[in-house]
Structure 1
Amino acid sequence: MAEAHQAVAFQFTITPDGIDLQLSHQALRQVYLSGLRSWKKRVTRLKNNVITGVYPASPSSWLFVVIAILATMYTRSDPSMGLIAKIQEHLPSFKNVLKKLPYQTAPCRTVVSAVLFSTLLWFSLIFTMRLCLKQLLSYHGWMFEQHGKVSNTTKIWAMVRIFSGRQPLLYSYQGSLPNLPVPAVKDTVKRYLESARPLMSDSEYERMTTLAKEFESSLGNRLQWYLKLKAMWASNYVSDWWEEYVYLRGRGPLMVNSNYYGMDFLYVTPTPIQAARAGNTLHACLLYRRKLNREEIKPVILNVPLCAAQCERIFNTTRIPGEETDSLIHWQDSEYVAVFHRGRYFRLWLYHAGRMLSPREIEQQIQRIMDDPSPPVPGEAKLAALTAGDRIPWAQARKEFFSSGVNKRSLDCIEKAAFFVALDDDEQGMRGDDPAGNLDRYAKSLLHGKCYDRWFDKSFTVVVYKNGKNGLNAEHSWADGPIMAHVWEYVMTTDSFQLGYTEEGHCKGDVASSLPPPTRLTWDIPAECQERIERSLTVAQALADDVDFHVLPIQEFGKGAIKKCKISPDAYIQIALQLAYYRNRGTFSLTYEASMTRLFREGRTETVRSCTSESCAFIRALEGGESKEVCRRLFRTASEKHQQLYRMAMTGGGIDRHLFCLYLVSKYLGEESPFLKEVLSETWRLSTSQTPLQQVELFDFVNHPEYTTCGGGFGPVADDGYGVSYIIVGENMINLHISCKHSCPQTDSHKFGADIKKALEDLLELLSPEKPDPSKAEQNHSKKSKKDL
C-alpha cells in the first residue's frame, strides 16, 4: 500500500476547519522528472527534424551564407544583383508604432534585407543539393558493372559523396531517396514468361504466352495508367498495398504463417541466471531505442543509403485485430514493458526518477515477478492464445470482452507497452546429449512457444528461458526481417561485450532502494470468453504441432571458400537449394527469394525467382553426368543470371510486386484478368530468405568465434513446401533454418537439410580449383628438361 500512496501527488480532505491539503513531494518529483524526460525527447526530436530537414547542408551553414553575403556587401558589391534592394523596398514599415526602433534606420533595413536574401539563397542551395543527391541516388548502373570495369557514368556518379554531407542522422537521406519506378508492362510480362518457362510444359507455356500477350495488348495498359498515377502521388506505389493486403487483411493465424524468430548465440550463454539475462537484454533494447529516438544509429549504406522508414515502428507498436482487416497502432513513447510469467501479466516500468533503470535494477524487478506466488485468474494463463489463432474470432472477442472496464485497462497496458517480454520456465539451446535435436526444439519454441506465452500482435516479443538463453519473436507487417535483425545484433553484442556480468552471473551496477515493484495486471474473463480462448488455442496448437523444423549449422566451410571460387555466396547457396530440391522431389519448383527495395523511399521487398532456365540446365547436366568443364560453365552462367535477377529486383525491375499492384487495380475497377489471376495463384513451394549480418564490426569472429549468431527463421509458406532461411556468418560458417509440415508426406526438414548440405559440398568440390598431381608435374618437368637439352 505504501507504493500506492506514493503514486498520488496530492490528497485533500474537507474538514470543519476547511480543506486539508496534503502534498507528496516524492510523487511530485517523479511527475516533474518524468515530464522533464518527455520534454528532452521533444527537444531532441525537434532538433533532429531541423538537421534532417536541411540535409545535406547543416544549420550552421546558414550563418556562413549570411556572413558571406554581408562581407560581400561591405566591399560595396551587390551579390544579389538588385534583389536585396527590392526586398528592402517591400519591407513593412511601422513608422507610427516603432518610430524609435533601430529597425527603421536605413543601415538596419539593409542588413535585414541581406539576411532575408541570404536565407532564401540558403534554401535554394539546399533544394539544389537535394535535387542533385536524389538524381545521383536514382542511378543504379554501378550495380550492373563488372568488377574492375568502371564506366565514365559511374565515375561521375561517385560525386554522390560530395553531396552526401557529413555525419548523417538515421533519417537524413529520407527526403532525397528516389521513388520506386513502375516498370513497363511489356518488360514485366517478358520477364514473367522467362521465369515461368522452366516450370511449364510446351503446351502450358504456349497457353500462358497467349494469355500474357492478350493482357499486355488490352487491359494491361489501362491498369498501368492508374498505377503510374498512384506512383506520381504516393511515396511508394507498392508498400501501402503490400502491408494491407498481404499482411493486415490476412485472416489466418499470425503465428507460424507470418511471424518469424531470431535466436541467441549458438554456443554461448553469457549467464545461466534468467533474471540477469533479462536485465541486460531489456536494458540493451532501451539503449537501442534511445539511439533510435536521437537518430544516432548510422544509416545502412550499400554504396548508397537504404531507406530507414521501417525503423520508426520498432518499439511501441501493436497490431490490432479487426473483422475485415487489422490495423497497426504506433505510440510515440512508452516507459514500460508487459511481462508474462507462469500465466500472469505484469507491467514493468523501465524508468524511475526520469532515468533509465540499470541492468541490475531490471534484474531485481524481473526477480520480483518470478518470486510472486500469486496464481493466474481464470482465463488469464492462456489469454494470449487469442493472438495465436484466427483473426476474426480475436477481433470479435476483443470487441465483446475487452472494450471496457478492467479488461480494457489491462489490454491497453499490453498493447501500449514498448515491447512484450516472455519469461519461460523451459530450458533451451544447443545443449545436452542431443544438441542437434535441442537446437530444433529451441527454434520451434521461439516460433510458436506453447501458443499462449507470446503476444503475437506486439511488434516483437523478447523471450528469456530458465537457463539464461534468449531469443525473439517478431510480427511481420510493420517491417521486414533485416530491421529486427539489426536491433537483435546490437542487443546481443551489447549484452555480452559492453554490459557484461559479475563473476556470479548477475548484472553489474547498483540498485535504488525506492523502486516500486512491478504491477500485476488484473482481469475479469467470463466463461464465454474462456471458451473462445480455448477454441483459438486448439487452432493454434494444431498449427504448431504440424510444423517440422530443423536448424542446420554448417561449419566445414563458408563465405571464404565460396569467394575463392569467384562466385557470389548468395547465388551459390540459391543454386545449391535448387539442386537439393531437385534431388529431394525429383522436379523443379517456383522459388521465392526475398530481396529488398530499400534503395527507394519506403521500399520493402521484391521477389527474386531463383529457379531459372540457366539453373535448371546446370542441374540437369550435373545430374546427367556431364563433364566438369561443361558443368562449371553452366554453373557460372546460372550464377550470373541469378545475380542479374537480384540486381533487377533491388533496382525496381522485379516482376511480382508490379503484377500484384496491377491485380489490385483490376479488382478496384471490377475487371477480370485470366493472366493476373493465374499468376497470383501460383504456389511458392520453396520460399527462401537470407538474413544479412549488417553490423560485422560488433562481432569478433577471429578472437571470439564462440560468439556466433545463429540467425533466425520462419514457418513454411506452402502446405507441401519448404521455408529456408540462411545466414552467412563470418568466413567459415553458414546457418540454415528449414521448415515444412508433418502433414505433407513429401516433405521432411531433416532429409531436406541433408540434401542441402550435400548439394553445398558437391558444388564446392565442382568449383574448387583442382590441385596439380605431383607425379604429372614431375613428368612434365622431366619432358621439358629433355626438350631444353
Structure 2
Amino acid sequence: MASLLSVQCVASLRKSRIYLRTAALGIKRNYSSQKKSSSEYFNQSVVPLIHHQKSLPRLPIPKLEDTIRRYLAAQRPLLDDDQLRTTEKTAQDFQNGVGKQLHEELVVQDMNNQHTSYVSGPWLNKFLSDRSSVLRNNPFMSFNPDPKTEYNDQLVRATNLVCSAVHFMKTLRAGFQEPEILHLKPSLLSRPLDLSPMLHLFNTTRIPKRGRDELFTDEKAQHLLVMRKGNMYVFDIVDRDGNLVKPAEIQSHLKYILSNPTPAAAFPLGVLTSENRDVWAGLRDKLIAAGNAEDLRSVDSALFCLSLDDESMRDDIYLAHNMLHADGCNRWFDKSFTVILTKDGEAAINFEHSWGDGVALLFFHNEIFKDTTEQPLVNPGSAAAAAVDSASAVRRLKFNLDSELENGIRRAKENFDSTVLTLKIDALKFMKGGKTQLKKSKMSPDAVAQLAFQMGFLRQYGQTVATYEACNTAMFRHGRTDHIRSATTHTKRCSHAFVLQPGQHSVEQLQAMLSECSKYHGQLTKEAATGQGFDCHLFALEYLAESKGEPLPSLYTDPAYVAFNHYILETSTLTSPALNFGGFAPDVPDGFSVVYQIHDDWIHCHASSFPARNGSEFVQCVHKSLEDIFTVLNGKPLSS
C-alpha cells in the first residue's frame, strides 16, 4: 500500500512533446527561488497554495472497455494460456454485465460529487479501515546532511528544523505559500498540483477506532510533542499571537529534554501505535478510562512530533531501519508526521500515510531543508536563552497505567519486535552509468530501472510476478495515486532474452528489445499519470460493489485477480536535492519493496524484505542486470 515516494512515475508524453516527472514520494523539482519575505514566513505569494484548487481538472473515469483491455494486457505476462483464457472470459463477462452497471453508477456518483475525485473517498476509507499495523504503510524520507557539517549537531539541527516547520505552517495557513507548479518540458504548459492534503499536515493524528480509524485535527493547539527514551514532553512553539517562539527558547527547551535524567520509559506508550488497529483502539479506550484523556489530547493535537534518538547511525542500512521503525518506543506512528533526529544529527521524516501521499511530504521536506541550510535561526555555539525556565515550560506527560495496560504495552512490544527483527533492508549502488547515458541512448531511465528489477527477480527466482510502480495523479483535483504495472510482455521477453537465453540474440536484437520496453513503459506511465490507469477504476468499482452488501462480482474473486493484487514487487522512485533516500516495508510477507533514485551517473536503490525473500541476493541480481543492460547499450555483446 505504501507509496513513496515516493514513493511516482517518470512519464514521457512524446506525442505532445511534453515530459512529466513525478515520484511516489513527490515531484522532482528545484527549490523555490522566492525568498522569505519576513522572519515569520517563507514567502508572501499573492497566490495561495490551493488557489488553483477549484480550477484543477477532475480525475477522469476511464472507459470500462479501456480498463478491461489494459487489465488483461497487464495479466498476460503473469498467466499461462489456460489461466489467461479463464481470466479473459471472466473480465469480458464483467464488462458486459455487472461491471457495466457498476461503471454507470460510478459515473453518476462522480457527477454528483464535483468537488472531489471518484477515488479519493474510497482510497481514504481503505487506509482507515485497514486493521493491520501502520508500520506496513508509514514511509520515511531522510534528509541529506547539512552542507555545513557543524550544523549537523543534534540540538542545533533539531531546533532549526522545528523553527522552519513552524514558518512553513504559518506561511501555509496565512495563504502566503505559493502553489506548487509542475513545469512541463518544453515550456509549453505548466500545471498546478493538488496539495490540498497539506491542510492535514499539522496538528493531525490518526485516532484508532474499532473497525475504522478517524483523522483528528486541532489547529488551535500551539505545542510540539517531543519524544526521548520513550518519554513524551510538550511545550509551546507558537505564542498566543500565533508567532514562532524565540528560537533560543526552543533550543533551551530541547537542551533541557536532551539533558533530562529521566530514565527510559518502563512502559513506552508509543509502541501501542504499532499495534493492530482494533487492539490499539481497545487499549486507547482503557487509557481514557484510566484518566489519561487530557494527556492523549496533548499528543493528538500537537503540531507534529519530534523524536530525539540516542542512537548514532553506522551506515545507510542502519539509518533506514532507524527511520522506518527503530525500536518502536520513541515514536508515535499515528502522528501525521514525525521529524527524527539521531544523536549524530541525521534527520528524517516518518509519516502516516492515510491523509496524503508523498507529493505533499516531499514539498514540505524540500522547503524546510532549504530554509534550515540557507537561513538557520540557531548556529553552532549559539547560547540558549539564559532567562528561560525550561523546567516550567516543558511538561512531561505522565500516564496512569494499570496492569492491563502494562500487559498491553508488553504484548505490543513483543509483536513489534517479532515483525521488525525479521525485516531486512539491502542496498545497491550501481556506479557504471545513470540518467545521462540512458538519455543519450534514447532510453527512459525509469523504464531501465524497472526492467532491471524484472530481470533481477527472474534471475533469482525464475518468475515474472505482480509488480507495481506508484504514479502520482496530483495534476487532478483530489488525485492520489495510480499504478504502473511494469511487468509487461515486453519486459518478460526482454528479461528472458538477457537472463535465460544468453548468446541467442545479437546486440542489435537486444537493443531493439530494450527500446520496446522503454517505449511501452512510457505509454503505461502516460496513461497512469493522466488518469487513464486501470487500477483505481477497478478499485472504485469493487468498493461500490462491496457497499451494496452483495457477493462480489467474479472478476474480483478470480484467483488471477487476487494474485495480481498481491504485489511481490512494490516499487517507487524519488529524487530531490534535499533527499538522501527513503523507504517503506513490504505490503506482503513474500514481497520486496524497492525505493530507487536514478542520478546522472549512478543508480541507487534500497530493497526491504521479510525472510520469505533474500534481499541481499536480489540486489546483486539487479546489479548484474544493470551491468548487462549498459553493456548492450554500449554496443557490446553479453558474455555467455
The one-letter code of the counterpart of 1:684 is: Y
| 1:390 to partner: Cα distance | 0.8
- Taking the aligned partners of 2:196 and 2:204, their CA distance within structure 1 comes to 14
- Taking the aligned partners of 2:207 and 2:333, their CA distance within structure 1 comes to 11
The one-letter code of the counterpart of 2:236 is: W
Say which of 470, 487, 499 aligns to 1:611: 487
- Taking the aligned partners of 2:258 and 2:205, their CA distance within structure 1 comes to 25
- Taking the aligned partners of 1:564 and 1:293, their CA distance within structure 2 comes to 44
Alignment-derived partner of residue 310 in structure 2: 425
- Taking the aligned partners of 2:382 and 2:56, their CA distance within structure 1 comes to 42
Q: Is the 8 A contact 1:358 1:509 kept in 2?
A: no
Are 2:598 and 1:728 aligned? Answer: yes
Alignment-derived partner of residue 243 in structure 1: 124
Bigger Cα displacement from structure 2, 468-477 vs 506-515: 506-515
Which secondary structure does the structure 2 equivalent of 1:641 belong to? helix
Say which of 285, 291, 300 aligns to 1:415: 300
Say which of 250, 253, 260 aligns to 1:362: 250
Q: Is the 8 A contact 2:290 2:400 kept in 1?
A: no
| 1:750 to partner: Cα distance | 1.9
Q: Is the 8 A contact 2:143 2:348 kept in 1?
A: yes
Alignment-derived partner of residue 6 in structure 2: none
Q: Is the 8 A contact 1:300 1:306 kept in 2?
A: yes
Are 2:132 and 1:252 aligned? Answer: yes
Alignment-derived partner of residue 353 in structure 2: 476
Gaps of 5+ in 2: 1-10, 20-44, 184-189
- Taking the aligned partners of 1:254 and 1:421, their CA distance within structure 2 comes to 18
- Taking the aligned partners of 1:646 and 1:272, their CA distance within structure 2 comes to 38
Question: 1:283 and 1:487, CA in 2 relative to 1: closer, same or farther beyond 3 A?
Answer: same
Alpha-carbon RMSD: 2.4
Alignment-derived partner of residue 71 in structure 2: 192
Alignment-derived partner of residue 143 in structure 1: 13
| 1:319 to partner: Cα distance | 0.2
Higher helix share: 1
Alignment-derived partner of residue 589 in structure 1: 465
TM, length-normalised to structure 2: 0.86
- Taking the aligned partners of 2:552 and 2:229, their CA distance within structure 1 comes to 52
Are 2:161 and 1:291 aligned? Answer: no
Alignment-derived partner of residue 23 in structure 2: none
Say which of 591, 615, 626 aligns to 1:749: 615
Q: Is the 8 A contact 1:314 1:459 kept in 2?
A: yes
The one-letter code of the counterpart of 1:236 is: S
| 1:736 to partner: Cα distance | 1.3
The one-letter code of the counterpart of 1:423 is: L
Are 2:191 and 1:311 aligned? Answer: no
Alignment-derived partner of residue 214 in structure 2: 327
Which secondary structure does the structure 1 equivalent of 2:354 belong to? coil
Which secondary structure does the structure 2 equivalent of 1:643 belong to? helix
| 1:230 to partner: Cα distance | 1.4
Q: Is the 8 A contact 2:337 2:351 kept in 1?
A: yes
Are 2:270 and 1:373 aligned? Answer: no
The one-letter code of the counterpart of 2:283 is: A
Question: 1:280 and 1:512, CA in 2 relative to 1: closer, same or farther beyond 3 A?
Answer: farther
Alignment-derived partner of residue 563 in structure 1: 439
Which secondary structure does the structure 1 equivalent of 2:350 belong to? strand
1:232-266 CA deviation, whole Å, 9 max, x = no partner?
Answer: 12221101101112x111111111x1111111326
Question: 1:481 and 1:384, CA in 2 relative to 1: closer, same or farther beyond 3 A?
Answer: same
Question: 1:270 and 1:655, CA in 2 relative to 1: closer, same or farther beyond 3 A?
Answer: farther
Are 2:59 and 1:180 aligned? Answer: yes
Alignment-derived partner of residue 187 in structure 2: none
Are 2:395 and 1:519 aligned? Answer: yes
5 Å-filtered alignment, 1:22-37, equals none
- Taking the aligned partners of 2:375 and 2:51, their CA distance within structure 1 comes to 28
1:622-648 CA deviation, whole Å, 9 max, x = no partner?
Answer: 232311101111111111111101110
Q: Is the 8 A contact 2:484 2:533 kept in 1?
A: yes
- Taking the aligned partners of 2:265 and 2:317, their CA distance within structure 1 comes to 33
Alignment-derived partner of residue 570 in structure 2: 687
5 Å-filtered alignment, 1:106-145, equals 143-145=13-15
Q: Is the 8 A contact 2:573 2:596 kept in 1?
A: yes
The one-letter code of the counterpart of 2:510 is: C
The one-letter code of the counterpart of 2:215 is: L
Bigger Cα displacement from structure 2, 487-496 vs 595-604: 487-496
Which secondary structure does the structure 1 equivalent of 2:118 belong to? coil
TM, length-normalised to structure 1: 0.70
| 1:441 to partner: Cα distance | 1.4
| 1:364 to partner: Cα distance | 1.5
- Taking the aligned partners of 1:563 and 1:500, their CA distance within structure 2 comes to 41
- Taking the aligned partners of 1:340 and 1:726, their CA distance within structure 2 comes to 30
Question: 1:728 and 1:310, CA in 2 relative to 1: closer, same or farther beyond 3 A?
Answer: farther
Q: Is the 8 A contact 2:142 2:348 kept in 1?
A: yes
Which of the pair has the greater relative contact order for Cα pairs under 8 Å at 6+ separation? 2
5 Å-filtered alignment, 1:376-391, equals 379=267, 382-391=268-277
The one-letter code of the counterpart of 1:360 is: A
Question: 1:368 and 1:498, CA in 2 relative to 1: closer, same or farther beyond 3 A?
Answer: same
Alignment-derived partner of residue 66 in structure 1: none
Are 2:341 and 1:464 aligned? Answer: yes
| 1:495 to partner: Cα distance | 2.0
Question: 1:552 and 1:365, CA in 2 relative to 1: closer, same or farther beyond 3 A?
Answer: farther
Say which of 432, 437, 450 aligns to 2:327: 450
- Taking the aligned partners of 1:412 and 1:477, their CA distance within structure 2 comes to 20
Alignment-derived partner of residue 629 in structure 2: 763
- Taking the aligned partners of 1:496 and 1:147, their CA distance within structure 2 comes to 36
- Taking the aligned partners of 2:247 and 2:601, their CA distance within structure 1 comes to 34
Which secondary structure does the structure 2 equivalent of 1:687 belong to? strand
Question: 1:187 and 1:350, CA in 2 relative to 1: closer, same or farther beyond 3 A?
Answer: same
The one-letter code of the counterpart of 2:232 is: Y
Say which of 330, 336, 342 aligns to 2:223: 336
1:607-660 CA deviation, whole Å, 9 max, x = no partner?
Answer: 110011111111222232311101111111111111101110111111111111
- Taking the aligned partners of 1:530 and 1:192, their CA distance within structure 2 comes to 49
| 1:393 to partner: Cα distance | 1.1
- Taking the aligned partners of 1:615 and 1:283, their CA distance within structure 2 comes to 47
| 1:573 to partner: Cα distance | 1.1
Question: 1:498 and 1:347, CA in 2 relative to 1: closer, same or farther beyond 3 A?
Answer: same
Are 2:561 and 1:711 aligned? Answer: no
The one-letter code of the counterpart of 2:174 is: R
Alignment-derived partner of residue 347 in structure 1: 234
1:534-560 CA deviation, whole Å, 9 max, x = no partner?
Answer: 111111111111101123344443322
Which secondary structure does the structure 1 equivalent of 2:89 belong to? helix
Which secondary structure does the structure 1 equivalent of 2:596 belong to? strand
Bigger Cα displacement from structure 2, 258-267 vs 539-548: 258-267
1:352-407 CA deviation, whole Å, 9 max, x = no partner?
Answer: 4643134433221101112222346763xx211110111111101111222563x1
The one-letter code of the counterpart of 2:164 is: A
Which secondary structure does the structure 2 equivalent of 1:402 belong to? helix
Larger Rg over CA atoms = 1
The one-letter code of the counterpart of 2:603 is: I
Alignment-derived partner of residue 539 in structure 2: 660
1:250-307 CA deviation, whole Å, 9 max, x = no partner?
Answer: 111111x111111132696554532222111111211222222233233232432221
- Taking the aligned partners of 1:284 and 1:270, their CA distance within structure 2 comes to 18
The one-letter code of the counterpart of 2:581 is: G
Which secondary structure does the structure 2 equivalent of 1:441 belong to? helix
The one-letter code of the counterpart of 2:347 is: N
- Taking the aligned partners of 1:551 and 1:361, their CA distance within structure 2 comes to 40
Are 2:94 and 1:215 aligned? Answer: yes
Q: Is the 8 A contact 2:466 2:563 kept in 1?
A: no
Which secondary structure does the structure 1 equivalent of 2:427 belong to? strand
Alignment-derived partner of residue 737 in structure 1: 606
- Taking the aligned partners of 1:142 and 1:728, their CA distance within structure 2 comes to 16
The one-letter code of the counterpart of 1:265 is: N
1:81-118 CA deviation, whole Å, 9 max, x = no partner?
Answer: xxxxxxxxxxxxxxxxxxxxxxxxxxxxxxxxxxxxxx
